[in-house]
């Protein structure tokens, strides 16, 4: 079945974000959020997940990119929810463990219709360039809440915060690709007969 790229734009007083997503089609990511390290992570996520992602975002980043990072997660999550609604039934579960040098991260996803985040990471450096590692949680929270998924994300270990974050986003991409793959089994992948 052919699919079309889904697109969503959200403009607030704080941010203006447009995301295009096609989980069925590999493509060169087009990421531009004005936050270079965040661009790098989103690019790694989409590339290693093997899906097409375009993100164009701007906002009140002069003092803190918090709003932009969180809102990007919110919009991405909304697109994932719409993808599940439009192109399901899905495999539902995804899991990946990805290394980057000394760092190792694990991500497990359940497209459950229930929003729940478990996030564990102990970064030795609190910043990657100008990017505050505390913002990673804000991105994951925004994504999890609006996608209505259960997400377990853990950086198992590492000595370099950049490597740790990158391994996490690569694992996220892989797990998303698995979970949102269309199911060949047919029917809804739940003993309840519904995912809500």
pLDDT of 61 reads: 86
Residue 4 pLDDT grade (very low, low, confident, very high; cuts 50, 70, 90)? confident
pLDDT of 194 reads: 44
What letters, b where the CB count within 10 A reaches 16 and e where it falls short, cover 27-41? Answer: eebebebebebbbbb
Largest CA distance in the chain: 49
What letters, b where the CB count within 10 A reaches 16 and e where it falls short, cover 122-152? Answer: ebeeeebeebbbebbbbbbbbbbbbbbbbbb
pTM of the shown model: 0.92
Q: What is the pLDDT of residues 103-149, one digit of tens each?
A: 999 999 999 999 999 999 999 999 999 999 999 999 999 999 999 99
Does the pLDDT at position 22 exceed 80? yes
Query: Omega before 89 cis (within 30°)?
Result: yes
Q: What is the mean pLDDT of the chain?
A: 92
pLDDT of 160 reads: 98
What are the residue ranges spanned by the domains of the chain? Answer: 8-179
pLDDT of 64 reads: 87
Helix (H) or strand (E) holding 79: helix 66-87
Q: What class has domain 8-179?
A: alpha beta
Give percent above pLDDT 90 in the chain.
84
Asked whether 32 and 5 are in contact (CB, 8 A), the reply is no
Mean pLDDT of 77-106: 96
Region for residue 151 given its phi and psi (left: phi exceeds 0; alpha: psi -120 to 50; beta: otherwise):
beta
Does the pLDDT at position 2 exceed 60? no
pLDDT of 3 reads: 54
Mean pLDDT of 142-171: 98
């Amino acid at each position: 079945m052919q699919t079309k790229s889904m697109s969503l734009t959200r403009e607030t007083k704080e941010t203006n974000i447009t995301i295009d997503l096609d989980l069925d089609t590999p493509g060169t990511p087009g990421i531009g959020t004005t936050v270079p390290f965040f661009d790098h992570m989103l690019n790694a996520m989409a590339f290693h997940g093997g899906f097409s992602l375009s993100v164009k975002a701007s906002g009140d980043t002069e003092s803190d990119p918090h709003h932009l990072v969180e809102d990007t997660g919110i919009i991405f999550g909304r697109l994932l929810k719409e993808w599940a609604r439009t192109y399901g039934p899905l495999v539902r579960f995804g899991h990946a463990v990805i290394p980057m040098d000394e760092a190792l991260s694990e991500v497990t996803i359940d497209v459950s219709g229930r929003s729940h985040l478990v996030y564990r990471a102990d970064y030795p450096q609190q910043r990657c360039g100008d990017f505050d590692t505390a913002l990673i949680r804000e991105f994951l929270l925004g994504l999890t809440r609006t996608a209505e998924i259960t997400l377990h994300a853990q950086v198992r270990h590492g000595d370099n915060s950049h490597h740790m974050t990158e391994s996490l986003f690569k694992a996220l991409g892989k797990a998303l690709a698995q979970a949102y793959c269309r199911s060949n089994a047919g029917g809804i992948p739940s003993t309840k007969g519904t995912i809500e």
